[in-house]
Each structure stands twice: as C-alpha cells, then as structure tokens.
Amino acid sequence: KQEVTQIPAALSVPEGENLVLNCSFTDSAIYNLQWFRQDPGKGLTSLLLIQSSQREQTSGRLNASLDKSSGRSTLYIAASQPGDSATYLCAVMDSSYKLIFGSGTRLLVRP
C-alpha cells in the first residue's frame, strides 16, 4: 500500500530565505507526482506536476525534483515571501490513476 510522508510537518522562516520541503513515498511504481498549495479553508492549487520519467520541473521561484528509485521528491522555494504562507501537499498518482496525499507541510513566512 502506497504511503506518502512529508517532512517537516510545519516550518517557520523569515522572509527571503530559501527553503526545501520533503516528500517520500513507499512504492516507486508511480504515474506522476504533484505538488499543491492549500490556503486555510480553501481548495488546492496545483503548483508543479512531475511525470515519472522526469527529474524536475520549475515554475518561477519553485523547483520540484523527483528521484523515483529512492522514493523522494523535494520542493524548493527560492526567496520566500509572506504570500507563500500556506500548506503544501505532495501527492503521488498510482498505476490506477488514484492520488495518494501526504499530510502536508504548514509553512509560515514571517515578514
């Protein structure tokens, strides 16, 4: 059974810092991996999608990497801003096209 773990559970950093969020999964037979952002009480916003054949994806200040063989992904946020404060969720899609989510990392960027 696929399990997705995110570390740390919570993170507080001063504005301007570069930071890394970690995601690990137990079964490397994934279709893709997706990073989402969720603001309190809201839906999910897709940030980056990495197909199983890819190693990384970039969008603006965000960079996500995927090492399928070791079951790991990282989300790198450069020059963090207070507006980046949210919960970041990692999810893997298994071979039956179902998403399995991690428990998330709550990020607070202090002005």
Partner 1 sequence: SAVISQKPSRDICQRGTSLTIQCQVDSQVTMMFWYRQQPGQSLTLIATANQGSEATYESGFVIDKFPISRPNLTFSTLTVSNMSPEDSSIYLCSVSGTGNEQFFGPGTRLTVL
**Region from 18-26, 62-70, 76-84, 93-101 binding partner 1, contact rule CB under 8 A:** 93-101
Provide Rg for the chain, Cα atoms: 13
**Of 41, 60, 83, 111, the one binding partner 1 by CB under 8 A:** 41
Q: How far is the CB of 84 from partner 1 (least distance, A)?
A: 19
Q: Would strands 10-14 and 105-110 be described as parallel, antiparallel, or unpaired?
A: parallel
Torsion of Cα atoms, 108 then 21 then 23 then 104, to 10°: 10
Q: How far is the CB of 75 from partner 1 (least distance, A)?
A: 16
Quote the CA–CA distance of 108 and 38 in Å, as a whole number: 13
**Region from 17-25, 26-34, 60-68, 71-79 binding partner 1, contact rule CB under 8 A:** 26-34
User: What are 108's two structure tokens?
Assistant: 């607070």
Q: Give the binding site for partner 1 (CB under 8 A).
A: 31-32, 34, 36, 41-46, 49, 51, 89, 91, 93, 97-99, 101-104
